[in-house]
Amino acid sequence: MKNNIIQTLKILLVAVVLSFGISYVYAWTGPTVAPPGGNTPEPINIGGKQQDKAGNFRAGGLRSFGDLIVDNGITLGGVREVSWPSVPSGAIMMFDGVCPSSGGWSEYTALRGRVPRGEPNGNGASLGQGGSDNAIVVAHSHTLTMNRVGNHTHSVTGGGGGRGSSGFSTVDTGTKYGSVTTSSAGAHTPTGTIGSSGVSGINKNIPRYQEVIFCLKN
pLDDT tens column, 61-77: 888 888 878 777 788 77
Could you give the CA distance from residue 150 to residue 77 in angstroms, rounded to a whole number? 92
In the predicted model, is pLDDT for residue 187 greater than 80? no
Residues across the chain: 218
What's the confidence (pLDDT) of residue 31?
73
pLDDT (tens digit per residue) in 29-51: 677 778 777 777 677 667 677 77
Residues 78-93, mean pLDDT to the nearest whole number: 81
Q: How far apart are the first and last CA of the chain?
A: 98
Strand stretches in the chain, DSSP E? 74-76, 79-81, 92-95, 105-107, 155-161, 176-181, 213-217
What's the confidence (pLDDT) of residue 85?
67
Range from 19-28, 51-60, 205-214 that averages highest in pLDDT: 205-214
Helix (H, G, I), strand (E, B) or coil at 52: coil
Break the chain into its structural domains and give their ranges: 84-113+210-218
Residues 187-195, mean pLDDT to the nearest whole number: 70
Give the CA distances from residue 162 to residues 175, 178, 182, 185, in Å, rounded to whole numbers and listed in that order: 7, 10, 21, 30
What is the percent of the chain where pLDDT is above 90? Answer: 13
Average pLDDT, the chain: 74
Residues 141-158, mean pLDDT to the nearest whole number: 68
Of residues 136 and 101, the one with the higher pLDDT is 101
Q: What phi and psi, each to the nearest 5 degrees, are found at residue 160?
A: 95, -5
What's the confidence (pLDDT) of residue 28?
62
Residues 104-129, mean pLDDT to the nearest whole number: 91
In the predicted model, is pLDDT for residue 207 greater than 60? yes
Could you give the CA distance from residue 183 to residue 75 in angstroms, rounded to a whole number? 106
Residues 87-103, mean pLDDT to the nearest whole number: 91
